Amino acid sequence: MAELTNGQIELARGGRGFAVVATLGPGGAPQTSIVWVDTDGDHLLVNTTNTRAKARNLRRDPRISVLVFDVGDPHRYFEVEGTAELVRDGAEEHIEELSQRYDGKEFAGPRDRVIVKVTPRRVFDYGA
């Protein structure tokens, strides 16, 4: 497992960092989406619904790439390549925390949430 630096952890936790998640679709084509991002210090954490393409793709193939960037300075970013585990425990509470951090209000989106827990295998840093 690769380790995240303090700067990368700060960017992923601060509410200024957004992420682009790339997974592999059924035919092998990449599928990307912009998401809120978090970390527990060792893993990147993304929250999604159980039925979205990224969750379906990761159940079939856990390989993932996550590019985290600073919205105030998009040239400050880092990328994590790794594997993902889908975790239900705490996912509803986690999306509420993210909603407060990013939007400052209660989450009003779809439920049936999972946390995508990304174990970094390689980390590429570009000023984060």
pLDDT in tens, 63-93: 999 999 999 998 999 999 999 999 999 999 9
Q: pTM for this structure?
A: 0.94
Q: Is the pLDDT of residue 128 over 80?
A: no
Cα separation, 119 vs 79, whole angstroms:
12
Q: How confident is residue 113, by pLDDT bands cut at 50, 70 and 90?
A: very high
Any idea which architecture 6-126 has in CATH? Roll (2.30)
In the chain, domain spans: 6-126
Q: Is the pLDDT of residue 127 over 90?
A: no
Q: What is the pLDDT of residue 82?
A: 98
Half-sphere exposure of 85 (CA within 13 A, CB side): 7
